Amino acid sequence: MTIAPEGRRMLRIEARNAETPIERKPPWIKVKAKMGPEYTEMRGRVQKEGLHTVCQEAGCPNIYECWEDREATFLIGGDQCTRRCDFCQIDTGKPAEFDADEPRRVGESVATMGLRYATITGVARDDLPDGGAWLYAETVRQIHKLLPDCGVELLIPDFNADPVQLAEVFGATPEVLAHNVETVPRIFKRIRPGFRYERSLNVITQARAAGLVTKSNLILGMGEERSEVSAALRDLHEAGCELITITQYLRPTPRHHPVERWVKPEEFVELREEAEQIGFAGVMSGPLVRSSYRAGRLYKQALEARA
């Protein structure tokens, strides 16, 4: 078997990463499981219907809070991504066959769960002529059709910032359009070789120009400097980003990028205050925050800021 140059490079990176053992988490990286009535009812419904959510399959620490708010996240486009990010748990490989029925099934799952707010994310599908744009757009349309009062947040790849592909996605009018920058310019190419920092900012600018509520995420602990985080926050706000989440990197496996530092809770508080001063309409900042954490609440804050 012949391995393509990009595949050989990926194997070298993963071998280098594996030289560093998995880091021991600090005491503040803890989750208290609080199973309220809404969470318990949702869990029972999901088990009964055989539904699949990112919340469960990724072992998200915030599942108890989000499900109590009747919010959940779904992954579309398969489980193989055409790009590789050094922090991401999703495998890189040849994607599954295009599944045009997936949006309907996701819509039915959202309706069955009786969600108030659904986040839809997915893999990059550079193998498809439209990059998977129709798949994202149709999933929004199906959810709105079956559950009109449910808010939908789309967390998208960059679609190479192609205006035609992005217009397809924007035209489905999700309540929030999210595209995660994830890290700072200096280490961006090393962490996200299939993406470009300025291109990601451009996606957010195009979404804001289309009238959508915009959102992004920064992951800390991958080698960035504190001043670079501040600069990235300013870049995002200037690009038109209204909502921001800031989180701690947790290494999924030894193949992934080592944790460079554990950010103390106090720094997350400082960053939240700084982001609010910069002008973001909504900010979630904390060690266990994830980009879809309390997504419905952030959306409401954006609406209030626009009013």
Query: Residue 150, annotated ligand binder?
Result: no
Query: Residue 55, annotated ligand binder?
Result: yes
Query: Residue 85, annotated ligand binder?
Result: yes
Which is nearest to 292 in space by CA: 71, 51, 49? 71
- Class level of CATH domain 33-306: alpha beta
Which is nearest to 105 in space by CA: 85, 77, 86? 77
- Model confidence over 129-163: pLDDT tens digits? 999 999 999 999 999 999 999 999 999 999 999 99
Element (H, E) at 106: helix 102-113
Q: Can you tell me the distance from the alpha carbon of 230 to that of 271, in angstroms, rounded to the nearest whole number?
A: 8
- Model confidence over 254-264: pLDDT tens digits? 888 889 999 99
Q: Considering the entire predicted model, what is its pTM?
A: 0.91
Query: Residue 109, annotated ligand binder?
Result: no
Do 212 and 303 meet the contact criterion of CB atoms below 8 Å apart?
no
How confident is the model at residue 12, as a pLDDT?
Answer: 75
3 pLDDT more than 50 = no
Question: Can you tell me the mean pLDDT for 193-205?
Answer: 96
Measured between alpha carbons, how far is residue 109 from residues 42, 114, 212 in Å?
11, 8, 25
Cβ neighbours, 10 Å, residue 5: 7
Do 126 and 158 meet the contact criterion of CB atoms below 8 Å apart?
no
State residue 224 phi and psi, 5-degree precision.
Answer: -75, 155
State residue 214 phi and psi, 5-degree precision.
Answer: -115, 150
For the chain, domain boundaries = 33-306
Question: Can you tell me the mean pLDDT for 70-78?
Answer: 89
